[in-house]
Each structure stands twice: as structure tokens, then as C-alpha cells.
């Protein structure tokens, strides 16, 4: 059974958009997935006085070490021994959200090492043994400030006190050019940002700062020399505390291993190209580089041991195109750019013939989930006893008061493990719910992360399973870790869902021969570093509205007020024109930082949908090896074109400026040692993309992440080769 939020009856207090179904699918989430010998050599050092002669201690029993407790001497480092120690962590700081990589140095490590940071265990699959004195670790989310780092092996535990520092700021990306101009997102946890904030990189303010949401600002990094710098957010002239991120941003050379793309200003006779493996970040030696589209050009060659090749000539002037090819990688091109330095990322091929014959990546350990438990606390007259669910309307015949408990998602389109997996209890019914100290207990299965926990309470039909939410509660700043349970997370059920959000679409491009067919708007609550509240039950969303006419109003009822626990929250709106039952074609846009208001939020300026010009769908590849398309409507900042060969494997990725309408596909098989893309029916997808403050002369591969997009539109076509 489905719902239609445009029903004129939806305006009544009890007629809200309904969930359909009685619960999420059951089943265990797939995140689940010592012998240690230690020798201690102790050296006893004693002092003798003038009044007594020194008497050596007796020999220790065989196999039992002599204790050096209380003796004075050199510190035991564990170097050159099997003793378990933790001596340092590099880098020693990182964002509160975790996800960054560090190296734990020490001694005595084995592949059974269990690492915890700030008391939170690291996923076993996120720990890699690089040697007896080195562990590579992916840091979990944590609380701000200095924390201990521990390694456990069997009964042995080594701890480095205050060995790691969780920064108050998260930077994305964490690297940029020494020339400056890198577009950086700065996100906070446990605080808010506003138009008065200034962000400094090693004391130098960033430029073009804009507030994206109450939790995130975006600006361009200033120029700086090579090295790692601190970043801080401050409010001049106020008493607000400065938020500091230690060693949070790294300035790097023109070969941009962190972001890739182009840099360095207009081409004037010299072009520097670096080729990297996008998955491992390693340089690729012997990659073929072609400047321009002519296989006979003198400007072609193979990269050296550092992945570099330099071309020089008086006729090398921008704009230029670079094509890069290497066996077992997807070809990549940057078309019609004017910049002296190019760092091209190649993605590994999916061709089975290129599969690694070794043991494969990963440690073989499974992923572990976490638990969060507490009570749903309903308001009422009882201060020291459990109150009833009277904030929810009284159920009628065939109805019952029910509540569901969830956590935030990392993004609007990511997924969480089912809350009821592994014995979790995410559904509570008023008549059968257990009694706790102040409310009704719950226990849910969650992903290890920094997140928020929220609950929806309302009326559920016993015959259809349709659920109508009337009340919401939120618990903020919950940090979970693998295999552990965070207890006593009580959720006050005090947020009545009695607000509305009105959205209107304007100037949406028309459809092509193959679509789109319907207009859709999603409205999700953004909590910044804690993720997104995406209210969905049994695959039905409370916060999605679909119409077949763009002029129809998109009215979201049953919304929370942005006050109290949600005072710093905002909406992330995702709206567009989509093709029912298919991924393509479509045009859509994102809007961040919106607050509910009495007037419509108007979304306009949609990108035009790409349409094929030549070759027509299914026709042969043109003799000039050029694919042509057009865009009716607003042009994008740049295009991403992806070709899939006749064998079904990704074959070529091309970046084009927003003014381009042609895709060059040179026949590399005319060059010794190179091959053409697999023949047969070849598909090509054209994706139009807008990024805030975009400059094609400073393109970077990070812009291929939808995190940076404000608009996109896409379509796909085929030809024969």
C-alpha cells in the first residue's frame, strides 16, 4: 500500500504521510564478520652506600623474568625485543569523525593486535600489520581532545597516554596545492558556525568563505609553503572560544597526489604530467600519455619511475587535451584545459584478466557493528515515574501507539545496518513495551561512528501496517565503537511533528525522447558531522514527494521544529526531474542549509539534460572518432563522460569543460603497445555537473564526488565499434 501526500485530506491533523509495513527486514547485518610469546630482559641496577656492601640478587627461576620494578635505569623502549609497547602515533591528530589513516609505532606487534583509540576499539579489518613495530590503522570517530591509544594482544596491553588528539574541525580535502585556491569544507562537531567566523590556515585567513550549513563552511585555502599546518576557526571581537585542528591540512607539490587535476597557470611551452593509481595513490610507471587527439603527434611517451613525463615545445599552448592509458586501468582524459601541471588518476580495470593473482586485499576480518540502548522518555506529570504516551493521539479501532528507533545516516543516500539486526529491539508498542527507570527501554544495532539517535512515535494500523508519526525525539553526539554498546542514551519524546515545509520547482528543463517522467523532492534533516535524519520505514519515505506536474506544490507536513535538540539543524533538499523505473535520464539539484519558513523554498536553475547528436543510438562510431551531444537549457561547469566497452567493462573516463559538446576517442591501437576499447555495442554516459565557485583551470578529481555538487544531469547512449 502506498501513500499520496498530495491528498487534500493531508491538511488535517491526523492525515499525515504514512509509512507502509510493520518493520524493517530481519537478519544479521554483515558487519560481523593468541598465541603471544613475550621475553623481557631486565637489567637490575643498584647503588651501594659507604655503610653497606652491595649484594647481588639471586638468579631468577628458569623461564621466569627478573622484575625491575622500582629500579632506576634507562627506560624500556621494547626496541629489539618482543615486549609489547606503543611509542607514537603518526600523524598524532585527526578529525572528530574519524576515517583517517594513522600509523601506530611500537614493538612486539602481531597480526592479532587489537587497537583502541580513546577507549573505542578499531575495526579488525581497519588494522594492518606492517611489521613488529608498525600498525596501519583507520581511526574511529571520537570525542574531542587528547585520548589514549592502546594495543592489546592476549593478556598483554600497552598504552600510550594522550597519544592521539581528536580535532574540533574536519577538513575535506585534507591536502591542497602550495599555490592556494583549494576549495575546502570545514565541518564542526558540538558547535555551530556562522557568517562571523574566520578560518585560518597557519595564521593566514582563507578566502571566499561561505556558510553552507550551521555545521559547515566552505572556503579557499591561502597560499603556503610545503608542509602540514594547523587550522582554526575563530570569531574576532567576541568571547567565543577558538576551535583548533592540529596538523589538519597539508600543502603539497604540483603533482597533486591528494586531489589530482590541473594547476599552475596557463601553458607556455611546457606541460608536466603525473599519473597515479586512484585506488592506492601510487605513481604508475610506464603509463602512456598522448597530448592531443592525433596518434602521430610527437608529444607522446611513457611516464618515468616517479610517474612523471614532461613535454616541451614552442607550439605547446593551451587549451590542450591529455589522454592516458595503461594496461589493467581505465583510460582517463582531461579535455581542453590550460594549466601547466596535470595529475591524472587512473582507476583499476574490472577486467577479470587483470585480477590480482595474489591473496587479495584486506585482513580477512569481518566488520563489527555496535549497539545503543536507553529509554524513550515521554513527557507527563510524573517526575520520578514513567509517563504514558498521551502526547500521541488516542488510538481508534484497529490502531495502536507504536514507536520506532533509528540512527542518522552518513549521507542522504547511504545505508545503515537494520536497527533490529543481531537482537536489536527498535520497535516499541505502548501496550507491550517494557518498563524502565524513566521510560520504555530500547536497544538497537548501529554502525560504529559519531551519530545521533532518533525515535518516531505515532499510530500504526493493525490491518495494513500503515504508520503515521506524530512525535519525535533526538539524542545527539553519540559515539559508538565496534563490538561495544553505548548505554543510557535516553531519548526525550518531546518534538511534536506539527510544522510544514513548502518547496516549489521552477524552470525545469523539458523531457527527452526517453524521459524524464516525474518530479520528486526529498527533504532530510542535516545534523552536520552527526549525519542525516532520513525518515524511512519498510522502504517508504516520510520525506519524499512525487508529482507528475512541476507546478504542483511540494508540501512536507509532519515536520519537526528546529529548536531545542534540533536548534542547529537544517534541511538538505534534493529535487529533480527523474525517469520512473530507470536511472537515466534525469536532472537534479541539492540545496543545503534551508530552514523551515512561511514562504516557499524555490528551487530553480536546473541543468539541461544531455541529448545525443551523433552517432544515433546503436549506429556506428563516426570515422573521425568523435562523439557529439547537445544540452538544451542551462550549461554545466563541466562534463563527466564514461565509456563502457563492448565487453561490459569500464573503458574510458573523460573530463570536459561545460562549453564542450564533443568527446574525442582516439584510436590508441595505432600506437605500438596500445589497444583500442573492446568492440561491439559501446555505451557512453554524459553527466553534466555544477560545483560551487568552480574554475575549470583548477579542476581536481575530488569534484567527481557528489559531495561537492550543487546540480547534475545525465543521459546515456550507445554506438557500435
In tens, the pLDDT along 514-524 reads 889 999 999 99
Q: What is the pLDDT of residues 260-284, one digit of tens each?
A: 899 888 998 888 899 999 987 889 9
CA distance 578 to 585: 7
Asked if 104 contacts 133 with a C-beta cutoff of 8 angstroms, the reply is no
The answer to whether residues 462 and 380 belong to one domain is yes
Q: pLDDT higher for 55 or 562?
A: 562
Asked if 602 contacts 589 with a C-beta cutoff of 8 angstroms, the reply is no
Residue whose C-alpha is closest to residue 122's, from 349, 365, 295: 365
* For residues 276-302, average pLDDT: 93
The answer to whether residues 406 and 508 belong to one domain is no
pLDDT of 17: 39
pLDDT of 446: 96
CA distance 673 to 571: 53
As to burial, measured by CB atoms within 10 angstroms (0-12 exposed, 13-18 middle, 19+ buried), residue 673 is exposed
Q: pLDDT higher for 540 or 599?
A: 540
Residue whose C-alpha is closest to residue 717's, from 647, 639, 614: 614
Percent of the chain with pLDDT over 90: 71
Asked if 419 contacts 426 with a C-beta cutoff of 8 angstroms, the reply is yes
Residue 44 reports pLDDT greater than 90: no
Picking from 252, 287, 314, the residue at the C-terminal end of a domain is: 252
CB atoms within 10 A of CB 247: 18
Residue 539 reports pLDDT greater than 90: no
The answer to whether residues 637 and 553 belong to one domain is no
Q: What is the pLDDT of residues 323-358, one digit of tens each?
A: 999 999 999 999 999 998 999 999 999 777 786 544
CA distance 237 to 683: 58
In a domain, 150, yes or no: yes
The answer to whether residues 594 and 626 belong to one domain is no
* Domain at 507, CATH number: 2.60.40
Q: What is the pLDDT of residues 608-641, one digit of tens each?
A: 999 999 999 899 999 999 999 999 888 899 999 9
In a domain, 637, yes or no: yes
Bridge-partner residues for 655, per DSSP?
334, 640
The answer to whether residues 623 and 710 belong to one domain is yes
Q: What is the mean pLDDT of the chain?
A: 86
In a domain, 62, yes or no: no
* For residues 676-703, average pLDDT: 95
Grid coordinates representing 177 are 596545492
Bridge-partner residues for 252, per DSSP?
177
The answer to whether residues 198 and 240 belong to one domain is yes
Number of residues that this document lists for the chain:
721
* For residues 234-259, average pLDDT: 87
Residue 605 reports pLDDT greater than 60: yes
Residue 62 reports pLDDT greater than 80: no
Task: Order across the sheet with 626-631: list the strands.
Answer: 610-614, 626-631, 662-664
For the ranges 55-64, 75-84, 505-514, which has the lowest average pLDDT?
55-64
Picking from 577, 603, 629, the residue at the C-terminal end of a domain is: 603
Q: pLDDT higher for 431 or 596?
A: 431
Task: Order across the sheet with 467-479: list the strands.
Answer: 427-429, 399-407, 450-461, 467-479, 495-496
pLDDT of 314: 80
pLDDT of 50: 37
In a domain, 102, yes or no: yes
pLDDT of 469: 96
Residue 78 reports pLDDT greater than 90: no
Q: Which residues of 695-718 are buried (b: 16+ CB within 10 A; e: fewer)?
A: ebbbbbbbbbeeebbbbbbbbbbb
Total domain count, the chain: 6
The answer to whether residues 133 and 24 belong to one domain is no
Residue 43 reports pLDDT greater than 80: no
Picking from 603, 628, 654, the residue at the C-terminal end of a domain is: 603
Percent of the chain with pLDDT over 70: 86
pLDDT of 63: 40
The answer to whether residues 408 and 430 belong to one domain is yes
The answer to whether residues 100 and 188 belong to one domain is no
In a domain, 67, yes or no: no
Residue 255 reports pLDDT greater than 80: no
The answer to whether residues 128 and 218 belong to one domain is no
The answer to whether residues 395 and 295 belong to one domain is no
* For residues 381-408, average pLDDT: 94
The answer to whether residues 374 and 477 belong to one domain is yes
For the ranges 32-41, 372-381, 489-498, 702-711, which has the lowest average pLDDT?
32-41
Residue 360 reports pLDDT greater than 50: no
* For residues 460-487, average pLDDT: 95
pLDDT of 599: 67
* For residues 492-506, average pLDDT: 95
Residue 707 confidence class, pLDDT cut points 50, 70, 90: confident
pLDDT of 354: 80
pLDDT of 366: 63
For the ranges 356-370, 416-430, 452-466, 678-692, which has the lowest average pLDDT?
356-370
pLDDT of 57: 42
In a domain, 49, yes or no: no
Q: What is the pLDDT of residues 210-222, one digit of tens each?
A: 999 999 999 989 9
* Domain at 218, CATH number: 2.60.40.10
In a domain, 51, yes or no: no
Q: Which residues of 599-633 are buried (b: 16+ CB within 10 A; e: fewer)?
A: eebebeebbbbbbbeebeeeeebeeeeebebebeb
Residue 498 reports pLDDT greater than 90: yes
In a domain, 93, yes or no: yes
Grid coordinates representing 236 are 574576532
Residue 32 reports pLDDT greater than 60: no
In 563-708 the beta strands, taken as DSSP E runs, fall at 570-578, 586-594, 601-603, 610-614, 626-631, 638-644, 650-657, 662-664, 681-691
pLDDT of 586: 96
Residue 428 confidence class, pLDDT cut points 50, 70, 90: very high
pTM: 0.78
Please give the residue range of the domain that contains residue 380: 8-30+369-496
Amino acid at each position: 500500500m502506498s501513500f499520496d501526500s498530495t491528498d487534500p485530506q493531508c491538511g488535517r491533523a491526523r492525515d499525515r504521510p504514512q509509512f507502509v509495513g510493520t518493520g524493517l527486514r530481519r537478519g544479521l547485518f554483515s558487519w560481523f564478520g593468541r598465541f603471544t610469546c613475550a621475553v623481557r630482559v631486565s637489567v637490575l641496577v643498584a647503588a651501594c652506600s659507604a655503610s653497606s656492601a652491595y649484594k647481588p640478587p639471586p638468579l631468577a627461576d628458569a623461564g621466569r623474568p627478573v622484575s625491575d620494578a622500582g629500579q632506576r635505569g634507562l627506560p624500556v623502549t621494547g626496541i629489539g625485543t618482543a615486549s609489547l609497547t606503543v611509542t607514537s602515533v603518526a600523524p598524532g591528530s585527526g578529525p572528530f569523525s574519524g576515517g583517517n589513516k594513522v600509523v601506530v609505532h611500537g614493538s612486539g606487534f602481531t597480526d592479532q593486535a587489537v587497537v583502541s583509540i580513546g577507549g573505542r576499539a578499531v575495526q579488525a579489518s581497519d588494522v594492518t600489520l606492517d611489521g613488529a613495530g608498525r600498525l596501519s590503522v583507520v581511526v574511529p570517530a571520537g570525542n574531542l581532545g587528547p585520548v589514549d591509544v592502546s594495543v592489546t594482544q592476549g593478556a598483554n596491553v600497552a598504552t600510550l597516554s594522550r597519544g592521539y588528539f581528536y580535532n574540533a574541525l574536519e577538513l575535506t580535502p585534507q591536502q591542497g596545492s602550495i599555490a592556494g585556491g583549494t576549495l575546502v569544507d570545514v565541518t564542526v562537531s558540538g558547535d555551530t558556525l556562522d557568517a562571523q567566523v574566520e578560518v585560518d590556515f597557519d595564521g593566514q585567513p582563507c578566502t571566499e568563505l561561505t556558510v553552507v550549513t550551521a555545521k559547515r563552511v566552505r572556503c579557499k585555502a591561502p597560499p603556503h609553503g610545503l608542509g602540514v599546518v594547523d587550522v582554526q576557526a575563530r570569531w574576532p571581537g567576541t568571547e567565543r572560544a577558538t576551535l583548533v585542528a592540529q596538523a589538519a591540512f597539508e600543502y603539497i607539490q604540483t603533482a597533486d597526489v591528494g586531489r589530482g587535476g590541473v594547476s599552475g597557470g596557463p601553458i607556455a611551452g611546457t606541460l608536466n604530467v603525473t599519473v597515479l593509481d586512484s585506488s592506492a595513490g601510487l605513481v604508475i610507471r610506464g603509463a602512456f600519455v598522448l597530448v592531443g587527439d592525433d596518434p602521430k603527434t610527437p608529444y607522446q611517451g611513457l611516464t618515468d619511475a616517479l610517474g612523471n613525463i614532461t613535454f616541451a615545445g614552442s607550439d605547446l599552448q593551451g587549451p590542450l587535451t591529455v589522454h592516458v592509458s595503461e594496461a589493467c586501468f581505465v583510460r582517463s582524459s582531461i579535455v581542453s584545459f590550460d594549466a601547466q601541471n596535470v595529475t591524472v588518476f587512473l582507476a583499476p580495470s574490472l577486467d577479470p584478466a587483470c585480477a590480482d593473482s595474489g591473496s587479495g586485499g584486506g585482513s580477512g576480518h569481518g566488520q563489527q557493528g555496535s549497539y545503543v540502548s536507553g529509554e524513550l522518555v515521554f513527557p507527563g506529570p510524573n517526575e520520578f515515574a514513567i509517563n504514558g504516551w498521551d502526547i500521541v493521539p488516542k488510538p481508534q479501532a484497529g490502531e495502536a501507539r507504536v514507536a520506532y528507533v533509528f540512527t542518522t545516516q552518513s549521507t542522504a543516500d547511504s545505508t545503515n545496518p537494520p536497527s533490529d539486526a543481531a537482537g536489536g529491539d527498535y520497535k516499541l508498542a505502548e501496550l507491550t513495551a517494557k518498563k524502565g527507570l524513566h521510560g520504555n527501554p530500547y536497544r538497537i544495532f548501529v554502525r560504529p561512528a559519531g551519530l545521533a539517535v532518533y525515535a518516531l512515535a505515532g499510530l500504526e494500523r493493525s490491518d495494513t501496517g500503515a504508520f503515521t508519526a506524530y512525535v519525535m525525539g533526538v539524542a545527539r553526539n553519540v559515539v559508538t565503537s565496534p563490538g561495544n554498546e553505548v548505554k543510557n542514551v535516553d531519548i526525550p519524546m518531546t518534538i511534536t511533528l506539527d510544522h510544514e515545509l513548502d518547496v516549489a520547482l521552477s524552470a525545469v528543463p523539458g523531457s527527452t525522447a526517453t524521459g524524464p517522467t516525474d518530479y520528486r523532492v526529498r527533504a532530510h534533516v542535516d545534523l552536520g558531522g552527526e549525519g542525516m535524519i532520513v525518515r524511512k520505514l519498510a522502504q517508504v519515505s516520510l520525506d519524499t514527494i512525487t508529482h507528475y506536474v512541476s507546478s504542483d506544490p511540494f508540501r512536507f507536513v509532519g515536520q519537526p521544529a528546529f529548536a531545542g535538540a534540533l536548534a542547529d539543524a537544517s534541511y538538505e533538499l534534493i529535487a529533480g526531474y527523474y525517469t520512473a523505473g530507470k536511472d537515466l535520464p534525469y536532472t537534479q539539484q541539492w540545496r543545503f542549509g534551508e530552514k523551515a519558513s512561511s514562504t516557499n523554498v524555490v528551487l530553480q536553475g536546473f541543468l539541461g539534460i544531455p541529448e545525443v547528436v551523433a552517432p544515433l543510438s546503436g549506429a556506428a562510431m563516426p570515422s573521425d572518432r568523435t562523439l557529439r551531444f547537445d544540452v538544451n537549457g542551462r550549461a554545466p561547469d563541466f562534463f563527466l563522460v564514461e565509456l563502457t566497452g563492448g565487453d561490459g567493462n569500464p573503458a574510458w573516463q573523460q573530463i570536459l569543460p561545460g562549453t564542450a559538446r564533443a568527446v574525442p576517442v582516439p584510436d590508441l591501437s595505432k600506437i605500438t603497445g596500445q589497444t583500442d576499447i573492446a568492440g561491439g555495442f559501446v555505451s557512453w554516459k554524459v553527466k553534466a555537473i555544477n560545483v560551487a565557485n568552480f574554475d575549470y583551470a583548477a579542476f581536481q578529481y575530488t569534484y567527481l564526488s557528489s559531495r561537492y555538487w550543487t546540480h547534475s544531469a545525465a543521459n546515456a547512449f550507445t554506438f557500435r565499434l
